[in-house]
């Protein structure tokens, strides 16, 4: 059985709204990084919050392999939009963000803002091995459910 050549639809206000909602509501996501030596992809779960301008941000430890990987190569991918029930997970909207990681030097400045979004992180926010990382959005693939795909720019999302 043959099907349509491309599932990408023209970006419309509904797609932008959905992308912004997925980013606003994310408390965690799947982070893809490159292994520093082998270059193979590695996916791990991280907490997600946002900087004051809405850019995704996380708090990660030097004890986790993704932290060293991002120091060696900041090119990363973030999958946001997690199913929370037993429905078909491929129908649930999700978004893959192509991004570039930057370690923030001024962790203390962001403390209150971060902990307002991730209150449980107060237990370890001040540990010396934990670092705030901002993910500058380069673009995103939005999947609103089976066959509803969009390619978004940073301006579509922020």
Residues lying near a second copy in the complex (CB under 8 A) are found at 1-4, 6-7, 27-28, 30-34, 39-45, 47, 63, 65, 75-79, 82-86, 88-90, 94, 96, 98, 120, 124, 126-129, 141, 143, 146
Q: Closest distance between a second copy and the C-beta of residue 129, in Å? A: 6
- Our CB check for a second copy shows the closer of 121 and 158 to be 121
Residue 5 in tokens? 């050549």
Residue located via tokens 């649930």: 92
Q: Closest distance between a second copy and the C-beta of residue 57, in Å? A: 15
- Our CB check for a second copy shows the closer of 13 and 31 to be 31
Residue 137 in tokens? 């959005």
Helix (H) / strand (E) element for 46: namely strand 41-47
Q: Closest distance between a second copy and the C-beta of residue 118, in Å? A: 9
- Our CB check for a second copy shows the closer of 53 and 75 to be 75
Rounded CA gap, 29 and 18, in Å?
Answer: 16
> Which are the contacts of 63, defined by CB distance < 8 A and separation ≥ 6?
129
Q: Closest distance between a second copy and the C-beta of residue 120, in Å? A: 5
- Left (φ > 0), alpha (ψ -120 to 50) or beta: where does 105 sit? alpha
């Amino acid at each position: 059985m043959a099907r349509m050549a491309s599932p990408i639809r023209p970006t419309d206000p509904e797609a932008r709204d959905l992308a912004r909602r997925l980013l606003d509501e994310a408390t965690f996501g799947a982070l893809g990084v490159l292994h520093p030596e082998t270059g193979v992809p590695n996916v791990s779960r991280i907490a997600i919050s946002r900087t004051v301008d809405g850019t995704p941000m996380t708090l990660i430890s030097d004890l986790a392999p993704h932290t060293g990987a991002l120091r060696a190569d900041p090119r990363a991918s973030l999958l946001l939009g997690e199913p929370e029930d037993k429905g078909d997970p491929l129908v649930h909207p999700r978004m893959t963000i192509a991004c570039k990681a930057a370690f923030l030097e001024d962790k203390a400045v962001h403390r209150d803002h971060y902990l307002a979004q991730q209150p449980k992180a107060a237990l370890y926010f001040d540990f010396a091995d934990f670092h705030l990382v901002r993910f500058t959005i380069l673009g995103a693939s939005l999947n609103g459910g089976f066959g509803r795909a969009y390619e978004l720019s940073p301006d579509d999302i922020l």
